[in-house]
Amino acid sequence: MFGWFLKQVFLDHELQENYVRNSGLDWTIVRPAAFTEGEKTGNYKHGFDATDKSLKLKIARADVADFILKQLESGIKPFKSPGLSY
């Protein structure tokens, strides 16, 4: 049921990512789970398999920012699309 309601949203999402991928630029698309207002924990998963059942499918905005800053500081690897979740 939700798939039907969100069909256009997913199509727009794929179109946006295709624009980024075909831009000719170095890119990284960070895919966070549902945002929460929690504190930064530094204890999150990234780059996991889409079938990982241990994920909580949520993450604090502060941990998303932490991940992005760490990637920038360490020399981000372009052309990746890591997911982020607890």
How far, in Å, CA of 16 to CA of 61, rounded?
Answer: 22
Residue 76 confidence (pLDDT) above 90: no
Mode of pairing for the β-strands spanning 31-32 and 83-85 = parallel
pLDDT tens, position by position, 14-30: 999 999 999 999 999 99
Three-state SS at 10:
helix
pLDDT tens, position by position, 18-73: 999 999 999 999 999 999 999 999 999 998 887 899 999 999 999 999 999 999 99
